[in-house]
Amino acid sequence: MAVITLDPVVHKKVNEWLTGDYDVETKAEIQVLLDIGDETGLTDAFYKDLEFGTGGLRGIMGAGSNRVNKYTLGMATQGLSNYLLKTYPNEQIKVAIAHDNRNNSDLFAKLTAEVFSANNIHVYFFEGLRPTPELSFAIRELGCHSGVMLTASHNPKEYNGYKAYGADGGQLVSPHDKNVIAEVRKITSIGDIKFEANPDNIESIGAEMDAKYIKALTKLSISKDAIQRQKDLKIVFSPIHGTGGVSVPPVLKAFGFENVILVEEQMVVDGNFPTVVYPNPEEEEAMTMALNKAKETDADLVMATDPDADRVGIAVKNNKNEFVLLNGNQAACLLIHYMLTAWEKAGKLTGDQYVVKTIVTSYLIDKIAAAKGVDCYNTLTGFKYIGQLMTSFEGKRTFIAGGEESYGYLVGEHARDKDAVISCAMIAEMCAYYKDKGSSLYDALLDIYLEYGFYKEKLIALKKEGKKGAEEIAAMLAGLRKNPPTTLGGSKVVTIKDYKSSVSTDMNTGAKSKIDLPSSNVLQFFTEDGSIVSARPSGTEPKVKFYCSVNGVLDSKGVFEETEAKLDEKLSVILKDLGA
C-alpha cells in the first residue's frame, strides 16, 4: 500500500466506509484508491457530502460521501422521507419518480422507490425512462407531495444525480432544500436508511400519464392553421441518446407535424453517449450529427434535447441558406416574443400576464416585455426559482412563458420546470408560422434586433475540478469583490450588484439599495453603455461562469454582420478586462 497523507476529516470518513456496513464492491473501490496512493481521488470522494445545488444532488458516480452511489442517494431519500413525514404528519404521502437514460439511473430510481416505500410513502413509479418535465407534470396531476428525477441532465457520462421536487412540481427551494439537507445530516449511519421495500406502496405509471401530458401540451398551440399549411416542414430531431426520444416525436406529431426526421444513431438509448463528447446541446459538437442530417435532407429546422429533455438546442437557416446555431438567449427571445405577440394580436393581454427569466439571461427579453406592457420578472439562476415565482402567482396571474440562457424554456403552466418537449413543439410551430408568412426564424430574430436593439451575449465557463478547483473559484470571486473592475470594455462600471450580500451599489454616488432576491454567490457589473457582466460558480458543474452582454443599434439587416463583428470585439475586450 502506498503511503499517503490525508486530511483528518477525509481520513476519518475513509475509515468509516472501510469498516462500516457498506457492500464489498464499495470497500474494494476505496481500497484500490488507497493501494495506488490516489490522494486526490480519495480527497475528492470524501472531503464533503453531496449537497443540493441549483440542479439538486449531482456528482460523479462511485464510492464516497461526495459521490453518487446507493448510500448517498439512500441517505438523501431517507432524509427527504423524514422531512415529508414531519411536514405532512396526518396524510398519506405520495411521491412520483422518473429517470433518464444514464448509466445506473434505472437502478437508482428503483432504490429511491424502495426507500420511500419502506417509509410507508406511496410511490408512483414511471415504468420506463421519461423526461424531467413530465415528472413535474405528473406530480401536479397526481397531487403528490414530492417527486424525484434521477438524472445529471447534460453532465458528462461519469455523472448522475437526483432532482428533488415539492408539491407544486418545482424543484426544492429554500427553506425546503435546506430542511431536507438538515434531515439528511441527522442520519449518522447507513443503518438509519430503510432499504427494505414494501412493494404494496409502489404503483407503476406510464402510458396514461403520457397521454395526459401530450394533451396538456397540444392545448398550448396558437398557430394551428399555419401548422396545417406547413405540416411537411422538415424537422431534424435528436434526443442525444436520452429521454427526448420518448416524448418529443409523439408531441410533434400531435401538434400536426408530419415530416420529422430522426437522427437514428442518437435515438438509441445509451448512458455512455457514444456519438458525442458531452450530451449537451449547448455544445456545437453535440449538434454535429443532427446538423449533418439537416444538410443532407435540406431541412428547415434542427433540434436536439439533452438526456432528461429539459433543454433544447436549435439550428436554423440564415439568409445564405446556411445552418446557424442559436444560443439560449436568442431562442428565449424568439419564443417569448412569439408568445407575447400572439397574445397581443388575440387581445388577451390584460395586465395580469407575466414572463420570467433569470438575471443572467438577455435583457432584450425585459425590453420586449415592456414594449408589450407585460411584466418581466428576473430570478436567480436555476429554473427552480422561476417555478417558485410561478407558484406564488398561481390563481392570481397568468404565466405566458419563461426561459434561461442555458437552453431551458417553459411555455404554459402545466409544469414547474424547464420543458424541452413543449419547447420543441413551440419552436417548430414558430418555424411553421414564419415560413407560412414567407419569412423564417432567422429573419424573425433580425426583426427583433431592428425593433428592440441588437443584444449579443457570450458565456465563458472555466472548469475547476475537485477541492482545489472549488478553492480557486472561491478565491476568484473573493478577488472580484475586493478589487472590482472600474471599467469594462472601455465603459465605466456604474452599478455593482452583489447578490451574496443582497446589496446594489451605485458607483457614482456610493448609494446602496437592497436586492429583493435570496442571497446567492453572484456578482453583476453594469456599465455606462449598457453592457452587463455576471460572475457566479455553477450550481451543477465544477465551473466558474462569466456571462457577458453587450448591445447596440442594428440599422438594417444589410449591416448585421458588420454590427455583430463590432459587438464581438467589445465582448472580447470585456473578457480580457476580466482576465477570463
- pLDDT by residue, tens only, the chain of 580 residues: 566 788 899 999 999 999 999 999 999 999 999 999 999 999 999 999 887 655 678 999 999 999 999 999 999 999 999 999 999 999 999 999 999 999 999 999 999 999 999 999 999 999 999 999 999 999 999 999 999 999 999 999 999 999 999 999 999 998 888 888 889 889 888 999 999 999 999 999 999 999 999 999 999 999 999 999 999 999 999 999 999 999 999 999 999 999 999 999 999 999 999 999 999 999 999 999 999 999 999 999 999 999 999 999 999 999 999 999 999 999 999 999 999 999 999 999 999 999 999 999 999 999 999 999 999 999 999 999 999 999 999 999 999 999 999 999 999 999 999 999 999 999 999 999 999 999 999 999 999 999 999 999 999 988 888 888 888 899 999 999 999 999 999 999 999 999 999 999 999 999 999 999 999 999 999 999 999 999 999 877 788 999 999 999 999 999 999 999 999 999 999 988 987 6
Under a CB-based contact definition with an 8 Å cutoff, are residues 308 and 153 in contact? Answer: yes
Give the contacts of 475 (CB within 8 A, at least 6 positions apart). none
**DSSP code of 85?**
H
* 266 and 134 share one domain: no
Of 433, 452, 471, which marks where a domain is finished?
A: 452
Residue where a domain stops, chosen among 177, 211, 245:
211
Q: What pLDDT, on the 0 to 100 scale, is given for residue 50? A: 82
Tell whether 79 is covered by a domain.
Answer: yes
Does 169 lie in the same domain as 67?
A: yes
Active-site residue list: 153
Q: Measure CA 193 to chain center.
A: 30
Q: With the C-alpha atoms ordered 531, 532, 533, 538, is the resulting torsion angle positive or negative? A: negative
Which pLDDT score, from 0 to 100, does residue 53 have?
A: 58
37 assigned to some structural domain: no
Q: Are residues 247 and 263 in the same domain?
A: yes
Residues 447 and 476 in one domain: no
Note whether 174 and 195 are same-domain residues.
yes
Q: What pLDDT score does 379 carry?
A: 98
- Write down the pTM of the prediction: 0.95
Considering the domain architecture, whether residues 206 and 247 belong to the same structural domain is answered as no
Which of 418, 452, 486 is the endpoint of a domain? 452
Both 279 and 346 in one domain: the answer is yes
* Residue 392 in domain: yes
Distance CA 30, CA 17 (A): 8
Same domain? 354 vs 480: no
Clarify whether residues 157 and 253 are in a common domain: no
Whether residue 304 is contained in a domain is answered as yes
* C-alpha cell of residue 87: 411536514
Q: Residue 20: which H helix or E strand, with range?
A: none
Distance (Å, whole) CA 279 – CA 155: 7
Clarify whether residues 443 and 538 are in a common domain.
Answer: no
CATH classification of the domain holding 364: 3.40.120.10
Give the helix/strand (H/E) hosting 475. helix 466-482
pLDDT on residue 468: 85
Length of the chain: 580
390 in any annotated domain: yes
Do residues 525 and 532 make contact, with C-beta atoms less than 8 angstroms apart? yes
pLDDT for position 346: 93
Give Cα separations from 86 to 83, 91, 124, 148, 300 (angstroms): 5, 10, 21, 18, 53
The parent domain of residue 159 ranges over 48-211
Q: How many domains does the chain have?
A: 3
Residue 15 within any structural domain of the chain: no
Reference 271, options 159, 134, 421; nearest CA is 159
SS (H, E, C) 497-557: EECCCCEEEECCCCCEEECCCCCCCCEEEEECCCCEEEEEECCCCCEEEEEEEEEECCCCH
Same domain, 320 and 442: yes
Statement to judge: residues 299 and 388 lie in one domain: yes
